Amino acid sequence: MLGGGLVDSSLVLVGGEPGIGKSTLLLQVLMALQRRGVSGLLVCGEESPAQVKLRAQRLLGSADGLRVLAETRTESVISCLEEHRPAVCVVDSVQTLWSEVVQSAPGSVSQVREATGQLLRTAKDVGVTLVLVGHVTKDGALAGPRVLEHMVDAVVSFEGDREMPFRIIRATKNRFGSTNEVGVFRMTGDGLVEVEDPSALFLEDGENLPGSAVVATLEGTRCILAEIQALVTSTNLAVPRRVGRGVDKGRMAMVVAVLARRAGMSLSECDIFVNVSGGLKVEDPGTDASIALAIGSAWRDQALPEGVAAFGELSLTGQVRYASHAEMRVKELARRGFERIVVPARNLVELRGSKDVPGSIDLEAVDNVRELMRRTVG
């Protein structure tokens, strides 16, 4: 996910909501590096060494050889790094560190900035790779000043619902590699386990019901399939509700407006609920057509034909516009057994000229949302 591994003397900032699995994954990383002969050090400011040992034994069966430093004073941490010179050091978390130079509480903007600055200089001088765990705000942004993100070499974010088993880890900044890669993991009793086939995790085989469609969304350089569900019901409220989980509410409202104005659907007196199964968050514009199919299927109370899927971006004029990486989407849909795929007209030319698209797939081109609904929902 970092594009080849950890770079010597670099700083990596890992952020995510409390309890999502940051400490668990980094503990697994340290133990895995140790088995390969790479020395590591865990600086724990939020847990005692005994608590870290218990978790290591529960997840990995053993904590032998794991070096732990229970310290929050920045100068003490730096002295330890200069003395022992580990190859990799994990600081959990940077918000617990405090420096004698700054007269403010740990976790404040000035303390976080000063601690990171001192660790940055030490990492470059000593040659240690530092991984800093950072808290996030209730909006999901990294807590502390934005300058913190500019100081480090890579920023890694954890995404996912704590109530769901999966986690998506992506690099939002990487000076030494691409930010187009993502890691998909499942949280288990033995820690985080890599998911080799994410589509199988989010797309479960079941009965084809009204209001259900398959969305092919891009996550980094891979395509993931998931089920998107919609419920359309009449309401007596003056302002109908538009509730979306896993989809951008603004984009969902736009799709509803386009369906009402360009496809002739009477949605102004209906509550509309949209959900992406498994807790996946879909932000890809090419998934507009799938959202529209789910809403249209629910409104007509008619299931989509078996083995049918679609992708494409909807414009405000009602056109189904070009979607990027169409080949990747078609290949993943074909792998999961879909035989008829409705695509934007501009994508059809490149898909027919591609050798990677299976010849058994029936590709249909559409120009606008009205034609999309007519060919699928009816």
Q: What is the pLDDT of residue 1?
A: 80
Assess whether pLDDT exceeds 90 at residue 99. yes
The CATH number of residue 238's host domain is 3.30.230.10
The candidate with the shortest Cα–Cα distance to 95, out of 79, 78, 108, 76, is: 108
Residue with token string 């299931």: 303
% pLDDT > 70, the chain = 97
Same domain flag for 192 and 209: no
Q: What is the pLDDT of residue 140?
A: 62
Q: Is the pLDDT of residue 206 over 70?
A: no
Give residue 32's Cα distance to chain centre. Answer: 23
Q: How far apart are CA 322 and CA 341, in angstroms?
A: 14
Question: What would the mean pLDDT of 160-169 be, rounded to a whole number?
Answer: 80
Domain boundary among 155, 176, 196: 196
Domain limit, last residue, from 164, 196, 228: 196
Residues 147 and 218 in one domain: no
Task: Rank 151-155, 165-169, 189-193 by mean pLDDT and report only the highest.
Answer: 151-155
Q: Of residues 115 and 4, which shows the higher confidence score?
A: 115
Question: Is 257 part of a structural domain of the chain?
Answer: yes
355 part of a folded domain: yes
Mean predicted confidence (pLDDT) in 1-9: 87
What total number of domains does the chain contain?
2
Cβ atoms of 245 and 275 closer than 8 Å: yes
In a domain, 265, yes or no: yes
Gap between the Cα atoms of 20 and 16, Å rounded: 7
| Mean pLDDT confidence for 322-349 | 94
The pLDDT, as a whole number, for residue 129 is 97
Q: Is the pLDDT of residue 61 over 70?
A: yes
Look-up of token digits 């799938």: 290
| Host domain of residue 318 | 201-376
Same domain membership, residue 175 and residue 262: no
Most confident of 73-87, 138-152, 341-355: 73-87
Q: Distance between CA atoms of 99 and 315, rounded to whole angstroms?
A: 53
Same domain, yes or no: 246 and 134? no
- The per-residue pLDDT for range 108-156, each reduced to its tens digit, is 889 999 999 999 999 999 999 999 998 887 666 666 656 788 899 999 9
pLDDT at 76: 97
243-298 pLDDT tens trace: 999 999 999 999 999 999 999 999 999 999 999 988 788 989 999 999 999 999 99
CB of 375 within 8 A of CB of 364?
yes
- CB distance 311 to 326 below 8 Å: yes
Give tens-digit pLDDT for 6-34.
999 999 999 988 888 899 999 999 999 99
Q: For residue range 219-252, list pLDDT tens digits in order.
A: 877 899 999 999 999 999 999 999 999 999 999 9
Final residue of a structural domain among 196, 231, 249: 196
pLDDT band at 344 (very low <50, low <70, confident <90, very high): very high
Give the pLDDT mean for 317-339. 94
The two structure tokens encoding residue 292: 């529209």
The sign one gets for the Cα dihedral 16, 85, 69, 187 is positive
pLDDT digits (tens, 9 = 90+) for 352-378: 888 878 888 999 999 999 999 999 997
Check which CATH number belongs to the domain holding 126 and give it: 3.40.50.300
Q: What's the chain's average pLDDT?
A: 90
Torsion angle of C-alpha atoms 234, 216, 17, 182, degrees rounded to 10: -170
| Burial class, 269, CB count within 10 angstroms (exposed 0-12 / middle 13-18 / buried 19+) | exposed
The proportion of the chain whose per-residue pLDDT surpasses 90, expressed as a percent, equals 66
Q: Does pLDDT of 205 surpass 70?
A: no
The better pLDDT of the pair 125, 189 is held by 125
| 245 three-state secondary structure | strand
Determine the pLDDT at residue 145.
Answer: 54
Is 261 part of any domain?
yes
Largest CA distance in the chain: 72
Same domain, 237 and 295: yes
Asked whether residue 220 falls in the same domain as residue 336, the answer is yes
- Predicted confidence at residue 142, as pLDDT, reads 67
The two tokens of residue 297 are 């299927």
What is the mean pLDDT of the segment spanning 337-356?
91
- Inside any domain, residue 1: no
Q: How many helices (H) and strands (E) does the chain have?
A: 11, 18
pTM: 0.80
Cβ pair 274, 252 in contact under 8 A: yes
CA distance 270 to 262: 17
Quickly count: other Cβ atoms within 10 Å of residue 74's Cβ: 25
Contacting residues for 153 by C-beta, under 8 A, at least 6 apart: 7, 10, 11, 12, 174, 175, 176
**What's the burial of 356, exposed, middle or buried (CB within 10 Å: 0-12/13-18/19+)?**
exposed
Strand 154-159 relative to strand 129-134, pairing: unpaired
Q: Write down the pLDDT at residue 143.
A: 61
